[in-house]
Amino acid sequence: AQKVTQAQTEISVVEKEDVTLDCVYETRDTTYYLFWYKQPPSGELVFLIRRNSFDEQNEISGRYSWNFQKSTSSFNFTITASQVVDSAVYFCALSEYTTSGTYKYIFGTGTRLKVLA
């Protein structure tokens, strides 16, 4: 069954600390896509990254980096030198191809990150 687990409900760090948000997924398919979204206190949902199941290269974008490991079914997100503006709820999501010929999209329950000044 398709499932996305974000076991960390809430994390608090002090500014400039590094922090990793965990995402573990379950899928039966060999072709799937993983995503991270950010929801700042203002409430909108912002897309951060998309990764397909055939590309296990890690990705870095500024202070953000993503570690995709198929062996552990994880797609973890690290923020280096965190800043107060990183405070938000972060969602991991999975899209997999179904037997009905469509993609099914499922979100994790989110991790609330608080970065303290």
Partner 1 sequence: DADVTQTPRNRITKTGKRIMLECSQTKGHDRMYWYRQDPGLGLRLIYYSFDVKDINKGEISDGYSVSRQAQAKFSLSLESAIPNQTALYFCATSDRGNQPQHFGDGTRLSIL
Structure tokens at 73: 């079914």
Among 75, 91, 113, 115, which residue interacts with partner 1 (rule: CB under 8 A)? 91
User: Which C-beta is closer to partner 1: that of 3 or that of 16?
Assistant: 3
Among the listed residues 32, 57, 49, the one whose alpha carbon sits nearest the alpha carbon of residue 90: 49
Q: Does 43 bind partner 1 (CB under 8 A)?
A: yes
Structure tokens at 53: 């199941």
Task: Compute and round to an integer the Cα radius of gyration of the chain.
Answer: 14
Among the listed residues 28, 6, 11, the one whose alpha carbon sits nearest the alpha carbon of residue 75: 6
Q: Does 107 bind partner 1 (CB under 8 A)?
A: yes
CB of 33 to partner 1, least distance (A): 5
CB of 54 to partner 1, least distance (A): 12
89 within 8 A of 111, measured Cβ to Cβ: yes
Q: Which residues of the chain form contacts with partner 1 (CB under 8 A)?
A: 6, 9, 33, 35, 43-45, 47, 50, 52, 91, 95, 97, 102-110
